[in-house]
Structure 1
Amino acid sequence: TMNFNTTYYWKIVAWDNHGESAASPIWSFTTEIIPQNHPPDIPSNPDPLNHATGVDVIGIILNWTGGDPDPGDTLTYRLFIVRNHHGMIYSIPKPYYLGNQSFNLTVNWQIWVKDNHGVWAESPWWCFTTRGNNSPSEPVITGTVNGEAGTEYEYVFVSIDPDNDNVYYYIDWGDNTHEDWFGSYNSGEEATTVHSWEEGTYIVKIKAKDVYGAESDWGYLDVTMPVNQHQSSQSKYQQIIRNFICGVLHNIGGGR
Protein backbone atom coordinates (compact mmCIF):
# COMPACT_ATOMS: atom_id res chain seq x y z
CA THR A 1 0.00 0.00 0.00
CA MET A 2 1.33 3.41 -0.96
CA ASN A 3 0.67 6.74 0.60
CA PHE A 4 -1.44 9.44 -1.01
CA ASN A 5 0.29 12.43 -2.61
CA THR A 6 3.79 10.86 -2.45
CA THR A 7 6.54 10.74 -5.14
CA TYR A 8 8.30 7.40 -5.59
CA TYR A 9 11.61 6.87 -7.50
CA TRP A 10 12.66 3.60 -9.05
CA LYS A 11 14.99 1.99 -11.59
CA ILE A 12 15.79 -1.44 -12.97
CA VAL A 13 19.25 -3.14 -12.89
CA ALA A 14 19.82 -6.29 -14.96
CA TRP A 15 22.66 -8.88 -14.64
CA ASP A 16 23.66 -11.56 -17.06
CA ASN A 17 25.29 -14.92 -16.21
CA HIS A 18 28.73 -13.40 -16.71
CA GLY A 19 28.19 -10.81 -13.99
CA GLU A 20 27.76 -7.89 -16.32
CA SER A 21 25.02 -5.41 -15.43
CA ALA A 22 23.12 -2.52 -16.90
CA ALA A 23 20.91 -0.01 -15.14
CA SER A 24 17.92 1.93 -16.33
CA PRO A 25 17.51 5.60 -15.76
CA ILE A 26 15.78 6.60 -12.54
CA TRP A 27 12.10 6.95 -13.03
CA SER A 28 9.51 8.49 -10.75
CA PHE A 29 5.76 8.73 -10.20
CA THR A 30 3.53 10.51 -7.72
CA THR A 31 0.48 8.95 -6.12
CA GLU A 32 -2.89 10.68 -6.21
CA ILE A 33 -3.86 13.43 -3.86
CA ILE A 34 -6.11 12.41 -1.02
CA PRO A 35 -9.64 12.64 -2.45
CA GLN A 36 -11.57 15.59 -1.06
CA ASN A 37 -14.90 14.63 0.46
CA HIS A 38 -17.77 16.96 -0.21
CA PRO A 39 -20.85 17.27 1.98
CA PRO A 40 -24.04 15.68 0.71
CA ASP A 41 -26.39 17.85 -1.31
CA ILE A 42 -28.75 19.90 0.83
CA PRO A 43 -32.17 18.20 0.65
CA SER A 44 -34.65 20.25 -1.41
CA ASN A 45 -37.96 20.10 -3.30
CA PRO A 46 -40.12 18.68 -0.51
CA ASP A 47 -43.22 16.66 -1.26
CA PRO A 48 -45.79 17.61 0.05
CA LEU A 49 -44.83 21.12 -1.01
CA ASN A 50 -43.73 23.52 1.68
CA HIS A 51 -46.75 25.33 3.19
CA ALA A 52 -49.15 23.03 1.32
CA THR A 53 -52.71 22.94 2.69
CA GLY A 54 -55.55 20.48 2.19
CA VAL A 55 -53.19 17.49 2.07
CA ASP A 56 -55.10 14.21 2.11
CA VAL A 57 -54.83 12.37 5.42
CA ILE A 58 -54.53 8.89 3.91
CA GLY A 59 -51.14 7.34 3.18
CA ILE A 60 -48.95 10.45 3.29
CA ILE A 61 -45.49 9.94 1.75
CA LEU A 62 -42.61 12.34 2.44
CA ASN A 63 -40.15 12.78 -0.40
CA TRP A 64 -37.42 15.22 -1.38
CA THR A 65 -34.49 15.67 -3.75
CA GLY A 66 -31.13 14.54 -2.35
CA GLY A 67 -27.77 13.17 -3.38
CA ASP A 68 -24.01 13.49 -3.02
CA PRO A 69 -21.43 15.03 -5.40
CA ASP A 70 -18.88 12.31 -4.62
CA PRO A 71 -19.45 9.14 -6.64
CA GLY A 72 -19.79 6.05 -4.52
CA ASP A 73 -20.74 7.79 -1.30
CA THR A 74 -23.63 6.22 0.57
CA LEU A 75 -26.19 8.33 2.40
CA THR A 76 -28.20 8.00 5.59
CA TYR A 77 -31.27 10.17 6.20
CA ARG A 78 -32.76 11.36 9.45
CA LEU A 79 -36.22 12.92 9.80
CA PHE A 80 -37.00 15.59 12.38
CA ILE A 81 -40.78 15.99 12.64
CA VAL A 82 -43.10 18.02 14.86
CA ARG A 83 -46.83 17.24 15.09
CA ASN A 84 -49.18 18.73 17.68
CA HIS A 85 -46.16 20.25 19.43
CA HIS A 86 -44.50 16.84 19.82
CA GLY A 87 -41.15 16.28 18.13
CA MET A 88 -39.68 12.99 16.98
CA ILE A 89 -36.48 11.89 15.23
CA TYR A 90 -36.32 8.89 12.89
CA SER A 91 -33.67 7.28 10.76
CA ILE A 92 -35.59 6.76 7.55
CA PRO A 93 -35.40 5.55 3.97
CA LYS A 94 -36.10 7.83 1.02
CA PRO A 95 -38.97 8.30 0.34
CA TYR A 96 -40.58 7.83 3.74
CA TYR A 97 -44.12 6.50 4.29
CA LEU A 98 -45.57 8.67 7.04
CA GLY A 99 -48.94 6.91 6.92
CA ASN A 100 -52.40 8.14 7.86
CA GLN A 101 -52.65 11.39 9.79
CA SER A 102 -55.43 13.31 11.54
CA PHE A 103 -57.48 16.14 10.08
CA ASN A 104 -56.40 19.79 10.33
CA LEU A 105 -52.93 18.72 11.41
CA THR A 106 -49.89 20.92 10.78
CA VAL A 107 -46.70 18.92 10.24
CA ASN A 108 -43.27 20.57 10.46
CA TRP A 109 -40.39 18.47 9.17
CA GLN A 110 -36.72 18.63 8.30
CA ILE A 111 -34.32 16.18 6.66
CA TRP A 112 -30.71 15.66 7.75
CA VAL A 113 -28.41 13.59 5.54
CA LYS A 114 -25.03 12.03 6.35
CA ASP A 115 -22.51 10.47 3.96
CA ASN A 116 -20.35 7.46 4.79
CA HIS A 117 -17.53 9.81 5.84
CA GLY A 118 -19.67 11.24 8.63
CA VAL A 119 -20.35 14.62 6.98
CA TRP A 120 -23.86 16.06 7.48
CA ALA A 121 -26.11 18.41 5.53
CA GLU A 122 -29.57 19.60 6.54
CA SER A 123 -32.61 20.97 4.78
CA PRO A 124 -34.57 24.00 5.90
CA TRP A 125 -37.71 23.33 7.93
CA TRP A 126 -40.77 22.60 5.82
CA CYS A 127 -44.44 22.34 6.76
CA PHE A 128 -47.82 21.24 5.42
CA THR A 129 -51.36 21.03 6.80
CA THR A 130 -53.80 18.18 6.27
CA ARG A 131 -57.33 18.80 5.09
CA GLY A 132 -60.35 19.25 7.32
CA ASN A 133 -63.37 16.96 7.30
CA ASN A 134 -66.88 18.24 6.64
CA SER A 135 -70.13 16.45 7.46
CA PRO A 136 -72.30 15.12 4.64
CA SER A 137 -75.40 17.10 3.67
CA GLU A 138 -78.76 16.38 5.26
CA PRO A 139 -80.11 13.38 3.29
CA VAL A 140 -83.06 13.90 0.96
CA ILE A 141 -85.51 10.99 1.02
CA THR A 142 -88.28 10.52 -1.53
CA GLY A 143 -90.98 7.90 -1.99
CA THR A 144 -94.62 7.13 -1.26
CA VAL A 145 -96.09 9.25 1.53
CA ASN A 146 -99.67 7.91 1.36
CA GLY A 147 -100.22 4.22 0.79
CA GLU A 148 -101.73 0.99 1.96
CA ALA A 149 -100.79 -0.59 5.24
CA GLY A 150 -98.78 -3.78 4.88
CA THR A 151 -97.52 -2.93 1.39
CA GLU A 152 -93.81 -2.50 0.77
CA TYR A 153 -92.77 0.78 -0.85
CA GLU A 154 -89.41 1.80 -2.24
CA TYR A 155 -87.64 4.89 -0.93
CA VAL A 156 -84.73 6.72 -2.52
CA PHE A 157 -82.30 8.79 -0.51
CA VAL A 158 -79.13 10.72 -1.26
CA SER A 159 -76.56 12.84 0.55
CA ILE A 160 -73.62 14.83 -0.80
CA ASP A 161 -70.30 14.94 1.04
CA PRO A 162 -68.35 18.21 0.54
CA ASP A 163 -65.08 16.26 0.61
CA ASN A 164 -66.39 13.64 -1.83
CA ASP A 165 -66.06 10.95 0.84
CA ASN A 166 -68.19 7.84 0.70
CA VAL A 167 -71.21 7.82 3.02
CA TYR A 168 -73.26 5.40 5.14
CA TYR A 169 -76.93 5.74 6.05
CA TYR A 170 -79.03 5.14 9.17
CA ILE A 171 -82.83 5.02 8.89
CA ASP A 172 -85.40 5.25 11.69
CA TRP A 173 -88.71 4.20 10.15
CA GLY A 174 -90.76 5.70 12.96
CA ASP A 175 -92.41 2.38 13.86
CA ASN A 176 -89.80 1.22 16.38
CA THR A 177 -87.72 -0.36 13.63
CA HIS A 178 -84.54 0.95 12.06
CA GLU A 179 -81.78 0.08 9.66
CA ASP A 180 -78.34 0.47 11.19
CA TRP A 181 -75.49 2.11 9.30
CA PHE A 182 -75.29 0.52 5.87
CA GLY A 183 -73.27 1.32 2.76
CA SER A 184 -70.97 2.72 1.77
CA TYR A 185 -72.22 4.79 -1.19
CA ASN A 186 -70.45 7.35 -3.31
CA SER A 187 -71.17 10.95 -2.47
CA GLY A 188 -74.28 11.96 -4.41
CA GLU A 189 -75.14 8.36 -5.33
CA GLU A 190 -78.82 7.46 -4.96
CA ALA A 191 -79.51 4.57 -2.61
CA THR A 192 -82.77 2.65 -2.31
CA THR A 193 -84.51 0.44 0.22
CA VAL A 194 -88.05 -0.77 0.90
CA HIS A 195 -90.32 -0.72 3.94
CA SER A 196 -93.93 -1.36 4.96
CA TRP A 197 -96.01 -0.07 7.87
CA GLU A 198 -99.13 -0.90 9.78
CA GLU A 199 -101.98 1.58 9.67
CA GLY A 200 -100.94 4.97 11.04
CA THR A 201 -98.87 8.09 10.51
CA TYR A 202 -95.10 7.93 10.85
CA ILE A 203 -92.09 10.24 10.73
CA VAL A 204 -89.19 8.65 8.87
CA LYS A 205 -85.74 9.95 9.87
CA ILE A 206 -82.52 9.34 7.97
CA LYS A 207 -78.95 10.38 8.70
CA ALA A 208 -75.68 10.09 6.73
CA LYS A 209 -72.11 9.81 7.96
CA ASP A 210 -68.86 9.76 6.03
CA VAL A 211 -66.17 7.11 6.24
CA TYR A 212 -64.41 9.14 8.94
CA GLY A 213 -67.48 9.28 11.20
CA ALA A 214 -68.72 12.85 10.56
CA GLU A 215 -72.54 12.77 10.73
CA SER A 216 -75.14 14.86 8.93
CA ASP A 217 -78.31 16.40 10.34
CA TRP A 218 -81.47 14.32 10.21
CA GLY A 219 -83.62 14.28 7.08
CA TYR A 220 -87.36 13.70 7.54
CA LEU A 221 -90.32 12.31 5.62
CA ASP A 222 -93.94 12.07 6.88
CA VAL A 223 -95.73 8.88 5.85
CA THR A 224 -99.41 7.99 6.33
CA MET A 225 -100.71 4.48 5.85
CA PRO A 226 -104.52 4.05 5.97
CA VAL A 227 -106.09 0.61 6.16
CA ASN A 228 -105.52 -1.51 3.07
CA GLN A 229 -108.30 -2.23 0.59
CA HIS A 230 -108.90 -5.75 1.87
CA GLN A 231 -109.26 -4.50 5.44
CA SER A 232 -111.43 -1.63 4.22
CA SER A 233 -113.76 -4.01 2.36
CA GLN A 234 -114.00 -6.23 5.39
CA SER A 235 -114.83 -3.25 7.59
CA LYS A 236 -117.57 -2.06 5.22
CA TYR A 237 -119.08 -5.57 5.05
CA GLN A 238 -118.98 -5.89 8.84
CA GLN A 239 -120.62 -2.49 9.19
CA ILE A 240 -123.43 -3.55 6.82
CA ILE A 241 -124.00 -6.73 8.85
CA ARG A 242 -124.03 -4.73 12.10
CA ASN A 243 -126.53 -2.25 10.67
CA PHE A 244 -128.74 -5.08 9.41
CA ILE A 245 -128.69 -6.86 12.78
CA CYS A 246 -129.41 -3.62 14.64
CA GLY A 247 -132.34 -2.95 12.32
CA VAL A 248 -133.77 -6.40 12.81
CA LEU A 249 -133.45 -6.13 16.59
CA HIS A 250 -135.05 -2.71 16.53
CA ASN A 251 -138.01 -4.02 14.54
CA ILE A 252 -138.42 -6.95 16.87
CA GLY A 253 -138.32 -4.68 19.85
CA GLY A 254 -140.90 -2.35 18.28
CA GLY A 255 -143.16 -5.27 17.52
CA ARG A 256 -143.31 -6.07 21.19
Structure 2
Amino acid sequence: MSNQTALSYNPGALTYDTTYYWNIIAWDNHSAYATSIIGDSGDSWNFTTKSKSSGGSDGGDGGGSSANENKKPIADASAGEPYHGYVNSAIAFDGSKSNDPDGNLTKWFWVFGDNTNETGKTVQHTYLEPGTYTVTLTVTDNEGAINTDTTTCVITQPNRLPTTPIITGPTNGTKNTMYTYTALSTDADNDTIQYTFNWGDPLSTSQLSGFLPNGSAYTVNHNWTVAGRYEVTVTVTDNQTTSSSNITVYIDAVQAGGVGYLLDNNGDGIYDTFYSDVLKQITTVQKKNGNYNIDSDGNGNWDLTYNTTNGLTSSYQEQGKTPGFEIVIIIGAIALVMLWKRKKKDSK
Protein backbone atom coordinates (compact mmCIF):
# COMPACT_ATOMS: atom_id res chain seq x y z
CA MET A 1 0.00 0.00 0.00
CA SER A 2 1.19 3.56 -0.54
CA ASN A 3 0.31 7.04 0.67
CA GLN A 4 -1.10 5.57 3.81
CA THR A 5 -4.56 5.66 2.31
CA ALA A 6 -5.79 2.09 2.87
CA LEU A 7 -6.47 0.13 6.01
CA SER A 8 -7.09 -3.26 4.27
CA TYR A 9 -5.70 -5.26 1.39
CA ASN A 10 -7.16 -8.08 -0.75
CA PRO A 11 -4.48 -10.39 -2.20
CA GLY A 12 -6.90 -11.90 -4.73
CA ALA A 13 -6.96 -15.61 -5.64
CA LEU A 14 -4.73 -17.85 -3.57
CA THR A 15 -2.92 -21.06 -4.55
CA TYR A 16 -3.44 -24.49 -2.97
CA ASP A 17 -0.88 -25.72 -0.41
CA THR A 18 1.08 -22.43 -0.28
CA THR A 19 2.45 -20.40 2.68
CA TYR A 20 1.97 -16.64 2.52
CA TYR A 21 3.93 -14.05 4.66
CA TRP A 22 3.21 -10.38 5.27
CA ASN A 23 4.37 -7.34 7.26
CA ILE A 24 2.51 -4.18 8.10
CA ILE A 25 4.40 -0.86 8.07
CA ALA A 26 2.76 2.25 9.40
CA TRP A 27 4.11 5.78 8.34
CA ASP A 28 3.47 9.18 9.83
CA ASN A 29 3.68 12.58 8.14
CA HIS A 30 7.28 13.02 9.30
CA SER A 31 8.39 9.91 7.47
CA ALA A 32 8.74 7.95 10.71
CA TYR A 33 7.47 4.38 10.51
CA ALA A 34 6.90 1.22 12.54
CA THR A 35 6.87 -2.39 11.29
CA SER A 36 4.87 -5.50 12.33
CA ILE A 37 7.98 -7.75 12.45
CA ILE A 38 7.67 -9.71 15.71
CA GLY A 39 10.51 -9.51 18.26
CA ASP A 40 14.16 -9.95 17.45
CA SER A 41 13.59 -12.96 15.22
CA GLY A 42 12.20 -10.84 12.42
CA ASP A 43 9.37 -13.24 11.83
CA SER A 44 6.48 -12.01 9.68
CA TRP A 45 2.84 -13.05 9.97
CA ASN A 46 2.01 -16.05 7.74
CA PHE A 47 -0.61 -18.67 6.86
CA THR A 48 -0.69 -21.74 4.63
CA THR A 49 -3.56 -22.58 2.30
CA LYS A 50 -5.03 -26.11 2.35
CA SER A 51 -4.22 -28.76 -0.20
CA LYS A 52 -6.82 -29.37 -2.91
CA SER A 53 -7.55 -32.92 -1.61
CA SER A 54 -8.61 -31.59 1.80
CA GLY A 55 -11.23 -29.26 0.36
CA GLY A 56 -9.27 -26.03 -0.07
CA SER A 57 -10.30 -23.23 -2.37
CA ASP A 58 -8.64 -21.68 -5.41
CA GLY A 59 -9.72 -18.22 -4.40
CA GLY A 60 -9.93 -16.15 -1.24
CA ASP A 61 -10.72 -12.82 0.29
CA GLY A 62 -7.60 -12.26 2.35
CA GLY A 63 -7.36 -15.79 3.77
CA GLY A 64 -10.97 -16.64 4.84
CA SER A 65 -12.78 -17.72 1.64
CA SER A 66 -12.21 -21.51 1.88
CA ALA A 67 -13.90 -21.72 5.27
CA ASN A 68 -17.00 -19.88 4.02
CA GLU A 69 -17.55 -21.83 0.80
CA ASN A 70 -21.07 -23.44 0.61
CA LYS A 71 -21.04 -27.21 0.79
CA LYS A 72 -23.31 -29.32 -1.36
CA PRO A 73 -26.37 -30.90 0.28
CA ILE A 74 -26.58 -34.68 0.66
CA ALA A 75 -29.47 -36.40 -1.17
CA ASP A 76 -30.59 -39.69 0.37
CA ALA A 77 -33.69 -41.57 -0.81
CA SER A 78 -33.06 -44.68 1.30
CA ALA A 79 -35.40 -44.00 4.26
CA GLY A 80 -38.32 -45.85 2.66
CA GLU A 81 -36.38 -48.65 0.95
CA PRO A 82 -36.98 -51.20 -0.34
CA TYR A 83 -39.53 -49.61 -2.64
CA HIS A 84 -41.94 -52.15 -4.11
CA GLY A 85 -45.68 -52.62 -4.52
CA TYR A 86 -48.55 -53.38 -6.84
CA VAL A 87 -50.03 -51.68 -9.88
CA ASN A 88 -52.61 -49.02 -8.87
CA SER A 89 -51.42 -49.03 -5.24
CA ALA A 90 -49.77 -45.97 -3.65
CA ILE A 91 -46.05 -46.26 -2.80
CA ALA A 92 -44.55 -43.95 -0.13
CA PHE A 93 -41.17 -42.39 -0.98
CA ASP A 94 -39.11 -40.89 1.86
CA GLY A 95 -36.28 -38.39 1.48
CA SER A 96 -36.01 -37.53 5.19
CA LYS A 97 -32.41 -38.80 5.45
CA SER A 98 -31.26 -36.05 3.12
CA ASN A 99 -29.45 -33.16 4.83
CA ASP A 100 -27.27 -30.08 4.33
CA PRO A 101 -23.98 -29.93 6.30
CA ASP A 102 -23.81 -26.13 6.43
CA GLY A 103 -27.36 -24.93 5.98
CA ASN A 104 -30.82 -26.31 5.37
CA LEU A 105 -32.71 -27.98 2.53
CA THR A 106 -35.40 -26.06 0.71
CA LYS A 107 -36.59 -28.53 -1.92
CA TRP A 108 -36.97 -32.28 -2.51
CA PHE A 109 -37.80 -33.16 -6.14
CA TRP A 110 -38.69 -36.73 -7.15
CA VAL A 111 -38.67 -38.17 -10.67
CA PHE A 112 -40.40 -41.57 -10.69
CA GLY A 113 -39.21 -43.03 -13.97
CA ASP A 114 -42.66 -43.12 -15.58
CA ASN A 115 -42.66 -39.54 -16.93
CA THR A 116 -44.10 -38.15 -13.71
CA ASN A 117 -42.62 -36.18 -10.80
CA GLU A 118 -43.52 -34.76 -7.40
CA THR A 119 -42.11 -32.29 -4.85
CA GLY A 120 -41.82 -32.96 -1.14
CA LYS A 121 -39.67 -34.56 1.56
CA THR A 122 -42.07 -37.55 1.65
CA VAL A 123 -44.44 -38.24 -1.23
CA GLN A 124 -46.72 -40.97 -2.54
CA HIS A 125 -46.88 -42.24 -6.09
CA THR A 126 -49.02 -44.79 -7.93
CA TYR A 127 -47.71 -46.72 -10.91
CA LEU A 128 -50.11 -47.85 -13.62
CA GLU A 129 -47.94 -50.57 -15.17
CA PRO A 130 -45.73 -53.32 -13.72
CA GLY A 131 -41.97 -52.90 -14.10
CA THR A 132 -38.71 -51.86 -12.44
CA TYR A 133 -38.41 -48.07 -12.21
CA THR A 134 -35.35 -45.87 -11.51
CA VAL A 135 -36.37 -43.11 -9.11
CA THR A 136 -34.25 -39.95 -8.74
CA LEU A 137 -34.33 -37.58 -5.77
CA THR A 138 -32.81 -34.10 -6.22
CA VAL A 139 -32.40 -31.86 -3.16
CA THR A 140 -31.66 -28.13 -3.07
CA ASP A 141 -30.16 -26.16 -0.16
CA ASN A 142 -30.69 -22.58 0.93
CA GLU A 143 -27.73 -21.44 -1.20
CA GLY A 144 -29.15 -23.03 -4.34
CA ALA A 145 -26.70 -25.97 -4.43
CA ILE A 146 -28.15 -29.32 -5.52
CA ASN A 147 -27.33 -33.01 -5.25
CA THR A 148 -29.06 -36.22 -6.36
CA ASP A 149 -29.59 -39.80 -5.28
CA THR A 150 -31.20 -42.70 -7.15
CA THR A 151 -33.11 -45.75 -5.98
CA THR A 152 -35.21 -48.51 -7.54
CA CYS A 153 -38.91 -49.30 -7.26
CA VAL A 154 -40.27 -52.70 -8.36
CA ILE A 155 -43.96 -52.80 -9.31
CA THR A 156 -45.81 -56.07 -9.91
CA GLN A 157 -49.34 -57.00 -10.95
CA PRO A 158 -51.31 -58.56 -8.05
CA ASN A 159 -52.86 -61.91 -8.81
CA ARG A 160 -56.39 -61.60 -10.14
CA LEU A 161 -59.24 -64.04 -9.52
CA PRO A 162 -60.36 -66.37 -12.26
CA THR A 163 -63.79 -65.35 -13.54
CA THR A 164 -66.85 -66.90 -11.93
CA PRO A 165 -67.33 -70.21 -13.74
CA ILE A 166 -70.29 -70.49 -16.11
CA ILE A 167 -72.09 -73.83 -15.62
CA THR A 168 -74.22 -75.38 -18.34
CA GLY A 169 -76.30 -78.54 -18.03
CA PRO A 170 -79.83 -79.72 -17.13
CA THR A 171 -81.48 -78.55 -13.92
CA ASN A 172 -84.20 -81.23 -13.86
CA GLY A 173 -83.92 -84.99 -14.24
CA THR A 174 -84.59 -88.47 -12.95
CA LYS A 175 -82.66 -90.94 -10.82
CA ASN A 176 -79.97 -93.17 -12.35
CA THR A 177 -79.74 -91.10 -15.53
CA MET A 178 -76.38 -89.74 -16.72
CA TYR A 179 -76.26 -85.98 -17.36
CA THR A 180 -73.49 -83.83 -18.87
CA TYR A 181 -72.25 -80.58 -17.29
CA THR A 182 -69.65 -78.08 -18.52
CA ALA A 183 -67.86 -75.28 -16.65
CA LEU A 184 -65.94 -72.39 -18.25
CA SER A 185 -63.71 -69.72 -16.65
CA THR A 186 -60.85 -67.45 -17.72
CA ASP A 187 -57.91 -65.93 -15.85
CA ALA A 188 -56.84 -62.31 -16.42
CA ASP A 189 -53.20 -63.20 -15.65
CA ASN A 190 -53.25 -66.06 -18.17
CA ASP A 191 -52.60 -68.58 -15.40
CA THR A 192 -53.55 -72.22 -15.78
CA ILE A 193 -56.83 -73.11 -14.06
CA GLN A 194 -58.29 -76.12 -12.29
CA TYR A 195 -61.99 -76.99 -11.86
CA THR A 196 -63.74 -78.93 -9.08
CA PHE A 197 -67.34 -80.17 -9.36
CA ASN A 198 -69.14 -80.82 -6.07
CA TRP A 199 -72.47 -82.53 -6.71
CA GLY A 200 -74.17 -81.65 -3.42
CA ASP A 201 -74.70 -85.34 -2.78
CA PRO A 202 -73.09 -87.16 0.18
CA LEU A 203 -73.15 -90.35 -1.90
CA SER A 204 -71.02 -88.78 -4.67
CA THR A 205 -67.37 -87.71 -4.68
CA SER A 206 -66.14 -84.44 -6.14
CA GLN A 207 -64.68 -84.45 -9.66
CA LEU A 208 -61.42 -82.57 -10.19
CA SER A 209 -59.71 -81.53 -13.41
CA GLY A 210 -55.98 -81.13 -13.84
CA PHE A 211 -54.53 -77.65 -14.41
CA LEU A 212 -55.75 -76.61 -17.85
CA PRO A 213 -54.68 -73.77 -20.19
CA ASN A 214 -56.39 -70.48 -19.45
CA GLY A 215 -59.91 -70.34 -20.92
CA SER A 216 -60.31 -74.11 -21.20
CA ALA A 217 -63.72 -75.63 -20.50
CA TYR A 218 -64.13 -78.76 -18.37
CA THR A 219 -66.93 -81.26 -19.14
CA VAL A 220 -68.05 -84.09 -16.83
CA ASN A 221 -70.90 -86.61 -16.57
CA HIS A 222 -72.88 -87.39 -13.42
CA ASN A 223 -75.98 -89.20 -12.20
CA TRP A 224 -77.89 -89.21 -8.92
CA THR A 225 -79.39 -92.31 -7.32
CA VAL A 226 -81.77 -90.65 -4.85
CA ALA A 227 -84.57 -88.16 -5.47
CA GLY A 228 -83.77 -84.72 -4.14
CA ARG A 229 -82.77 -81.12 -4.68
CA TYR A 230 -79.00 -80.77 -5.24
CA GLU A 231 -76.77 -77.71 -5.16
CA VAL A 232 -74.04 -78.30 -7.76
CA THR A 233 -71.01 -76.11 -7.03
CA VAL A 234 -68.10 -75.52 -9.37
CA THR A 235 -64.89 -74.01 -7.98
CA VAL A 236 -62.04 -72.78 -10.20
CA THR A 237 -58.52 -71.90 -9.00
CA ASP A 238 -55.32 -70.52 -10.52
CA ASN A 239 -53.42 -72.11 -7.61
CA GLN A 240 -53.50 -68.80 -5.71
CA THR A 241 -57.10 -67.60 -5.62
CA THR A 242 -60.50 -69.17 -6.29
CA SER A 243 -63.92 -68.32 -7.71
CA SER A 244 -67.09 -70.40 -7.60
CA SER A 245 -70.70 -70.58 -8.75
CA ASN A 246 -73.57 -73.05 -8.39
CA ILE A 247 -76.79 -74.26 -9.94
CA THR A 248 -79.75 -76.13 -8.40
CA VAL A 249 -80.69 -79.51 -9.89
CA TYR A 250 -83.99 -81.29 -9.11
CA ILE A 251 -83.92 -85.07 -9.46
CA ASP A 252 -87.47 -86.52 -9.34
CA ALA A 253 -88.40 -83.42 -7.36
CA VAL A 254 -90.13 -80.07 -7.83
CA GLN A 255 -89.89 -76.83 -5.85
CA ALA A 256 -93.12 -75.83 -4.07
CA GLY A 257 -92.87 -72.08 -3.58
CA GLY A 258 -90.37 -71.01 -0.98
CA VAL A 259 -91.34 -73.52 1.69
CA GLY A 260 -89.82 -76.75 0.34
CA TYR A 261 -90.03 -79.33 -2.44
CA LEU A 262 -92.02 -82.43 -3.37
CA LEU A 263 -90.27 -85.78 -3.89
CA ASP A 264 -91.12 -88.69 -6.18
CA ASN A 265 -89.15 -91.30 -4.28
CA ASN A 266 -90.06 -94.37 -6.37
CA GLY A 267 -89.94 -92.70 -9.78
CA ASP A 268 -93.57 -93.44 -10.73
CA GLY A 269 -94.36 -89.81 -11.59
CA ILE A 270 -96.35 -89.18 -8.40
CA TYR A 271 -94.92 -87.12 -5.56
CA ASP A 272 -94.85 -89.11 -2.34
CA THR A 273 -93.37 -86.79 0.30
CA PHE A 274 -92.55 -83.18 0.98
CA TYR A 275 -89.27 -81.75 2.31
CA SER A 276 -89.85 -78.67 4.48
CA ASP A 277 -87.15 -76.01 4.25
CA VAL A 278 -88.49 -74.58 7.51
CA LEU A 279 -88.46 -77.80 9.55
CA LYS A 280 -85.50 -79.33 7.65
CA GLN A 281 -87.37 -82.63 7.55
CA ILE A 282 -89.68 -84.72 5.36
CA THR A 283 -93.46 -84.54 5.89
CA THR A 284 -96.48 -86.24 4.30
CA VAL A 285 -98.29 -85.55 1.02
CA GLN A 286 -101.72 -86.60 -0.30
CA LYS A 287 -102.64 -86.56 -3.98
CA LYS A 288 -106.33 -85.86 -4.57
CA ASN A 289 -108.16 -84.69 -7.69
CA GLY A 290 -104.90 -83.75 -9.43
CA ASN A 291 -103.67 -81.69 -6.49
CA TYR A 292 -101.16 -82.42 -3.78
CA ASN A 293 -102.20 -81.64 -0.23
CA ILE A 294 -99.19 -80.93 1.94
CA ASP A 295 -98.70 -81.17 5.69
CA SER A 296 -95.92 -78.56 5.71
CA ASP A 297 -95.49 -78.30 9.49
CA GLY A 298 -95.77 -82.00 10.34
CA ASN A 299 -98.82 -81.64 12.62
CA GLY A 300 -100.96 -84.16 10.75
CA ASN A 301 -103.18 -81.57 9.02
CA TRP A 302 -103.11 -80.47 5.40
CA ASP A 303 -102.22 -76.79 5.21
CA LEU A 304 -100.91 -76.25 1.66
CA THR A 305 -102.03 -77.29 -1.80
CA TYR A 306 -99.86 -77.70 -4.90
CA ASN A 307 -100.63 -78.46 -8.52
CA THR A 308 -98.44 -78.38 -11.60
CA THR A 309 -100.51 -75.63 -13.24
CA ASN A 310 -100.96 -73.06 -10.47
CA GLY A 311 -98.06 -74.03 -8.22
CA LEU A 312 -98.46 -73.64 -4.48
CA THR A 313 -101.49 -72.08 -2.78
CA SER A 314 -101.07 -70.77 0.73
CA SER A 315 -104.09 -72.52 2.30
CA TYR A 316 -105.67 -75.98 2.03
CA GLN A 317 -109.32 -76.47 1.11
CA GLU A 318 -110.85 -79.94 0.97
CA GLN A 319 -111.75 -80.62 -2.63
CA GLY A 320 -115.47 -81.11 -3.53
CA LYS A 321 -116.85 -79.26 -0.51
CA THR A 322 -118.16 -75.75 -0.12
CA PRO A 323 -117.13 -73.83 3.01
CA GLY A 324 -120.06 -74.12 5.57
CA PHE A 325 -121.55 -77.16 3.88
CA GLU A 326 -122.15 -78.92 7.19
CA ILE A 327 -124.08 -75.92 8.51
CA VAL A 328 -126.28 -75.87 5.43
CA ILE A 329 -127.15 -79.55 5.96
CA ILE A 330 -128.01 -79.01 9.63
CA ILE A 331 -130.21 -76.00 8.88
CA GLY A 332 -131.94 -77.94 6.11
CA ALA A 333 -132.57 -80.88 8.43
CA ILE A 334 -134.08 -78.61 11.08
CA ALA A 335 -136.34 -77.00 8.49
CA LEU A 336 -137.57 -80.38 7.31
CA VAL A 337 -138.35 -81.49 10.87
CA MET A 338 -140.31 -78.30 11.56
CA LEU A 339 -142.21 -78.65 8.28
CA TRP A 340 -143.09 -82.29 9.07
CA LYS A 341 -144.37 -81.34 12.54
CA ARG A 342 -146.56 -78.58 11.09
CA LYS A 343 -148.10 -80.91 8.53
CA LYS A 344 -148.77 -83.49 11.22
CA LYS A 345 -150.50 -80.89 13.41
CA ASP A 346 -152.66 -79.61 10.55
CA SER A 347 -153.83 -83.16 9.76
CA LYS A 348 -155.38 -83.62 13.20
Interval of TM-score (by shorter of Structure 1 and Structure 2):
0.3 to 0.5
Structure with greater strand share of residues:
1
Higher relative contact order (CA 8 A, sep 6+): 1
Max radius of gyration: which structure?
2
TM-score (norm 2): 0.30
